[in-house]
């Protein structure tokens, strides 16, 4: 049954407690945002499509000549709030109740509550997530595990909260304006800032955000306009909304200065979202046989194109008085295997040492068990709250450095891992889970996208594996069938029957086999979730 409020039609069920979030006043604010900015969002998405057509024709991105003056001028972002000066370890995770409590209690400086890659956007997940964040802001949040009876509450000292709304490309199909879905980004942002901005400011913090998957400074400009309207509408101090932009698309890497400039009154720096960045590189140059990546496991931050991207982000941010946060270590603690656990921690430590020595002002982890090792590294390398004073004037990065395709093996083992991860992640997503541990790594939409997109690229560019096998649809079909059987053996017949493995394999196969590339696997997956009433 649909509910209408303030010109918006709510098609999701209003479960107990939802009415406290989806109030008439909040929906009026969402209607204001969608009415003002929904059209520009769609226009910018059309610009993405046109830019992709140029890339498909062989065009390569470069630093923009028309914004040279911005890059060469001396300017800085507005001063940072006190609680965003030290961000040496940030933890990310979905917005379910237990995870929110554990992340805030983890010992990290910042918790990014994620409505995007780590959350499957079912109606229940999203609105309950807003309830959970509201309660966390007011420190009333608690949780009792129904299985164990264990109770969870906030510690006295908790991480600073940041929220990542969905990207500009995602819609909220449960809320319509004039019969069309509203922006998922505006839905997530709007409800959080409406309910929590004043409370956060009263508690000495503020409404802080992460902005995902931007492809240009024009998309950052749209966010700035959203922030200005939100501050005026809600009577918030000018510039109190702060946002860190994830540089996680290859196109955005050429516009770091411009993105910071657009958001300079609201900027909290940039973050190297490495997994989406790798996905973006493959996706944008997917039709170029010269841009074929090696096995996913070979594409580490030590590869030249990622090292250049990391150091350019540091140099750009520090020149502008902004923090540059490092990327996600996908490794997680390995229970019941001491040797594998030690190897995982060793690789996390090496990764964080590389980031800290490059000059990053903090880093990301995906699991509370990794907060300490990351903090130890940054404590050793960064005794001050941040490294913004370290300007990295020694760094010079050209377009060719950002576009250098890494060398490395292309193996059947790599193909099989991509297929196994793709099936395992999509299966969890179809059940409403946005992040899931697979093969001792924390997989979210970004990491799974690398696997899916790499198979598409290998298949559609006629890539040959190192053993001489051509990546054909017959080979991919055989591997999908074999990895589907492997999943059944891993989880057991009962769990397999109750799960969505066959559906996941079918969707994965469709995504990699089709000639027209699907920009995000979450788009068709979301269609299925909505069709099933979730």
DSSP string, 438-491: ETTEEE-HHHHHHHHHHHHHHHHTTPBPTTS-B--HHHHHHHHHHHHHHHHHHH
The sign of the CA dihedral 200, 206, 211, 217 is: positive
The residues assigned a catalytic role are 164, 444
In 115-216, alpha helices (H): 123-137, 184-202
Q: What are phi and psi of 121, to 5 degrees?
A: -80, 55
191 Cα distance to chain centroid? 19
Long-range Cβ pairs for the range 346-355 (8 Å, 24+): 348/373, 348/374, 349/373, 349/376, 349/377, 351/301, 352/326, 352/377, 352/378, 353/377, 353/381, 354/301, 354/302, 354/310, 355/301, 355/310, 355/326, 355/327
Reference 296, options 466, 447, 514; nearest CA is 447
Report how far residue 470's alpha carbon sits from residue 251's, in angstroms, rounded to the nearest whole number: 30
Report how far residue 220's alpha carbon sits from residue 204's, in angstroms, rounded to the nearest whole number: 26
């Amino acid at each position: 049954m649909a509910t209408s409020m303030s010109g918006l039609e709510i098609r999701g069920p209003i479960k107990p407690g939802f009415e406290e979030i989806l109030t008439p006043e909040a929906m009026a604010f969402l209607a204001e945002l969608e009415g003002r900015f929904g059209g520009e969002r769609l226009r910018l998405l059309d610009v993405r499509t046109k830019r992709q057509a140029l890339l498909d024709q062989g065009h390569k991105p470069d630093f923009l000549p028309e914004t040279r003056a911005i890059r060469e001028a001396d300017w800085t972002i507005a001063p940072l709030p006190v609680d965003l000066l030290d961000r040496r370890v940030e933890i990310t995770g979905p917005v379910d109740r237990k995870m929110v409590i554990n992340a805030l209690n983890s010992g990290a400086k910042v918790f990014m509550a994620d409505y995007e890659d780590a959350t499957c956007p079912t109606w229940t997940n999203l609105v309950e997530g807003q309830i959970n964040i509201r309660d966390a802001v007011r420190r009333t949040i608690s949780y009792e595990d129904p299985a164990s009876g264990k109770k969870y509450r906030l510690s006295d000292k908790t991480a600073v909260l940041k929220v990542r709304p969905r990207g500009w490309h995602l819609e909220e199909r449960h809320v319509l304006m004039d019969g069309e879905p509203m922006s998922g980004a505006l839905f997530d942002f709007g409800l959080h800032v409406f309910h929590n901005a004043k409370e956060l400011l009263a508690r000495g913090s503020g409404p802080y955000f992460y902005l995902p998957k931007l492809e240009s400074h024009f998309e950052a400009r749209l966010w700035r306009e959203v922030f200005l309207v939100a501050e005026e509408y809600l009577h918030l101090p000018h510039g109190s909304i702060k946002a860190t932009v994830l540089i996680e698309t290859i196109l955005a890497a050429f516009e770091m200065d411009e993105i910071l400039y657009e958001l300079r009154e609201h900027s909290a720096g940039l973050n190297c979202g490495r997994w989406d960045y790798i996905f973006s590189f493959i996706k944008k140059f997917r039709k170029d046989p010269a841009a074929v990546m090696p096995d996913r496991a070979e594409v580490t931050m030590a590869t030249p194109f990622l090292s250049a991207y990391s150091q350019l982000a540091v140099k750009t941010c520090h020149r502008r008085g902004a923090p540059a946060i490092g990327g996600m270590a996908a490794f997680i603690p390995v229970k019941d295997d001491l040797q594998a656990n030690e190897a995982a921690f060793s690789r996390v430590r090496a990764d964080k040492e590389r980031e800290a020595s490059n000059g990053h002002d903090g880093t990301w982890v995906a699991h509370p068990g990794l907060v300490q090792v990351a903090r130890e590294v940054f404590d050793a390398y960064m005794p001050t709250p941040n490294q913004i004073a370290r300007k990295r004037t020694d760094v010079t990065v050209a377009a060719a450095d950002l576009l250098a395709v890494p060398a490395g093996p292309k193996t059947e083992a790599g193909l099989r891992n991509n297929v196994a991860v793709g099936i395992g992640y999509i299966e969890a997503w179809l059940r409403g889970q946005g992040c899931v541990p697979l093969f001792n790594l924390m997989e979210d939409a970004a990491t799974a996208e690398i696997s899916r997109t790499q198979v598409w690229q290998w298949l559609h560019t006629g890539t040959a594996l190192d053993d001489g096998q051509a990546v054909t649809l017959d080979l991919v079909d055989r591997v999908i069938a074999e990895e589907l059987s492997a999943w059944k053996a891993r989880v057991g017949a009962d769990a397999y029957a109750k799960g969505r493995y066959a559906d996941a394999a079918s969707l994965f196969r469709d995504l990699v086999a089709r000639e027209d590339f699907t920009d995000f696997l979450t788009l068709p997956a979301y269609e299925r979730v909505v069709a099933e009433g979730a």
